[in-house]
Structure 1
Amino acid sequence: MSAREQVIVEYGHEEGEFYLSQVQRTEPFERNNHYHGTYEIYYLLAGRRYYFIKDASYSVAAGDLIFINKYDVHKTSVLGSPQHARIVMNFSDDFLGKDHPLFRPELLRMFVREPHQFRLKPQEQWHVERLLGRMAEEARRREEGFELSLRLLLTELLLLAARLKAEPADAAEDPLSPVHRKIGQVVKHLNAHFSQKLPLPELSAAFGLSPAYLSRTFKKITGFTIVGYQHLMRVREAQSLLAATDAKIADIAVAVGFEQFAHFNRTFKKLTGASPTRYRKLNRRP
């Protein structure tokens, strides 16, 4: 920990069953683009941030609550002053207890809806910060029964969020530039056609941009090169098919857009840390 970053609370790992982190920063910080197999809740306590999620950029202000679904690509970056404070929470299906008879699907509804951002009213901010504060304290103290308390508080937070109505950001306060919106359109196109060949000259012409400008701006906003983003989308789809189907791995490679099986294997292992065969073995769904 440095003077530029103060970690208030940190518990668990974001790829584990439950993770909570509360941090204050005074210097520029950008989280690398990433995705994971856990749900994420992000609450900005102070400052402003850009948040790129799936295929859209959001201007996030203090008091905004963000919900990110499993495997959605996301990245934070500086907006104005780098000073900010936030709480991030990740949790798995197992931690929430999706198989429990009291579980209700509406508790996860906000993770699949768009936009991903809730602009909370002052009273709603108070309720959310009260719950998050209690969760941070439980994670910090770790007294007997704290994990059960975290589950109960998380359920209460999700129930509160399920009752909220999304308030769109005021257009006069929204600093998203036309460039951010244009890149969002490009990302949506890539998401819809990730298995197809999309040469840069054709892609840039379709959106009225030069190849060099599109490449540079896409990387700046999303954190990915265009080819890197295509590979990520293909591997993400391959992960789903490996876990949920009996299809041959070579057939999956072709289906998601890889022409060479060796290239698929290398790219898959680079992005996931495991070969396709090992990934299927570890993540096979019944």
Structure 2
Amino acid sequence: MSSDTRTVAYGEEEGEFYYHRIHRTKPFERNNHYHGTYEIYYLVSGERHYFIKEKLYSIRAGDLILINKFDVHKTSGQGDPEHERIVINFSDSFLGKGHPLLASGLLGMFSQDTPLLRLTIPEQDTVLQILNKMADEITERSDSYEYMLRVLLMELLIKTHRLIRSASLPAPASMNPLHQKITDVVKHIHAHHAEKITLQQLSETFFISPFYLSRIFKEITGFTIINYLNLTRIREAQRLLTDTDLKIVDIAEAIGFESLTHFDRTFKKIMKMTASKYRKFNSIS
């Protein structure tokens, strides 16, 4: 790919393969979101904040981020809004489960404790070279370019997996007390999502007024507290629907919903399908 910074876009974020490169000069903030695909985020230039699950990271040019399926994340500005980034999303099916090129355990790196890799200049060159080749394939659309994208993605995954052993793993950004308070609230929700959680209870637990807690939680995470709680519960429901044969009514109760009707309505709103349909498409049996 040439040295210009034109936008390159291919596929859909929730599809089998998605590639998007863009250079922005104006402030941009993506609301907290998640998807059922793996994500690779590479910052070509500039600086950004990245909120992933319950931690805030300060990222700079040359940093590589690995985001697992269904991990909530949000990117926001840090200083000068100008930045350029490349995002890749891909599904399990894109490489093919059991594919001879898919090394055993390779995708496990997306679930490591620290999603941020701080690459050296030579490592940045290696990664960017592959990402640029992908952009060229997408732009030129030569014969069998879709297969070449699979080959290039596999090369990127293998080289990234090797880099994990040598790359610097920066700690999460030093958070101000307000960010730390919300991080603690998020951790509490993750740990106690199966229990009854109310705004008043969180207010008393973390010594902050309900109104202020509600406002700053939405400001920092992009979610209302109830929406984040429901999202956390539905993510656990996805796991139970896929990995167990528990009845749906029992899953609803186990993750904290007081009625099957409320669970059904919430699951369909978030997942755009019913729980039974999700199980049918994703069950391991």
Query: Fold conserved (TM > 0.5)?
Result: yes
The code of the aligned residue for 1:167 comes to S
Instruction: Show the counterpart of 1:167.
Output: 168
1:51 equivalenced with 2:34 (yes/no) = no
What is the TM-score normalised by the length of structure 1? 0.90
Q: Conserved in 2, the CA contact under 8 Å of 1:48 and 1:60?
A: yes
Aligned partner of residue 259 in structure 1, secondary structure = coil
CA gap of 1:57–1:109, structure 2 versus 1, over 3 A, is: same
CA gap of 1:178–1:127, structure 2 versus 1, over 3 A, is: farther
Alignment partners' CA distance in 1, 2:51 and 2:15: 23
Alignment partners' CA distance in 2, 1:176 and 1:256: 30
Instruction: Show the counterpart of 1:151.
Output: 150
Alignment partners' CA distance in 1, 2:134 and 2:155: 11
The code of the aligned residue for 1:186 comes to V
The code of the aligned residue for 1:129 comes to L
Alignment partners' CA distance in 1, 2:123 and 2:202: 43
Instruction: Show the counterpart of 1:177.
Output: 176
Structure 1 window deviating more from structure 2 (64-73 vs 213-222): it is 213-222
Aligned partner of residue 258 in structure 2, secondary structure = coil
Instruction: Show the counterpart of 1:30.
Output: 29
Q: Conserved in 1, the CA contact under 8 Å of 2:50 and 2:59?
A: yes
Instruction: Show the counterpart of 1:100.
Output: 99
The code of the aligned residue for 1:116 comes to P
Q: CA deviation at 1:15?
A: 1.1
Q: Conserved in 1, the CA contact under 8 Å of 2:36 and 2:91?
A: yes
Summarize the alignment of residues 137-148 of structure 1 with structure 2, pairs less than 5 Å apart. 137-148=136-147
Q: CA deviation at 1:7?
A: 5.8
CA gap of 1:17–1:170, structure 2 versus 1, over 3 A, is: closer
Summarize the alignment of residues 212-223 of structure 1 with structure 2, pairs less than 5 Å apart. 212-223=211-222
Aligned partner of residue 7 in structure 2, secondary structure = strand
Alignment partners' CA distance in 2, 1:238 and 1:22: 33
Q: Conserved in 2, the CA contact under 8 Å of 1:58 and 1:176?
A: no
Aligned partner of residue 247 in structure 1, secondary structure = coil
Alignment partners' CA distance in 1, 2:108 and 2:46: 27
**Identical columns (%):** 54
Structure 1 window deviating more from structure 2 (213-222 vs 118-127): it is 213-222
1:209 equivalenced with 2:208 (yes/no) = yes
Aligned partner of residue 93 in structure 2, secondary structure = helix
- Give the number of equivalent residue pairs: 279
For residues 34-87 of structure 1, what are the alpha-carbon distances to aligned partners after superposition, in whole Å with 9 as ceiling and x for unaligned? 211110000011111111111111111111100000111111112222221110
Instruction: Show the counterpart of 2:74.
Output: 75
Instruction: Show the counterpart of 2:226.
Output: 227
Aligned partner of residue 138 in structure 1, secondary structure = helix
Alignment partners' CA distance in 1, 2:120 and 2:46: 17
CA gap of 1:102–1:169, structure 2 versus 1, over 3 A, is: closer
Aligned partner of residue 236 in structure 1, secondary structure = helix
Alignment partners' CA distance in 1, 2:174 and 2:7: 29
Q: CA deviation at 1:216?
A: 1.6
CA gap of 1:168–1:209, structure 2 versus 1, over 3 A, is: farther
Gaps of 5+ in 1: 1-5
Alignment partners' CA distance in 2, 1:139 and 1:177: 42
Q: Conserved in 2, the CA contact under 8 Å of 1:47 and 1:85?
A: yes
Q: Conserved in 2, the CA contact under 8 Å of 1:200 and 1:211?
A: yes
Structure 1 window deviating more from structure 2 (253-262 vs 198-207): it is 198-207
Instruction: Show the counterpart of 1:85.
Output: 84
Structure 1 window deviating more from structure 2 (182-191 vs 202-211): it is 202-211
CA gap of 1:189–1:249, structure 2 versus 1, over 3 A, is: same
1:284 equivalenced with 2:278 (yes/no) = no
Alignment partners' CA distance in 1, 2:177 and 2:92: 37
Alignment partners' CA distance in 2, 1:177 and 1:84: 24
Instruction: Show the counterpart of 1:186.
Output: 185
Q: Conserved in 1, the CA contact under 8 Å of 2:102 and 2:154?
A: no
Gaps of 5+ in 2: none
Aligned partner of residue 105 in structure 1, secondary structure = coil
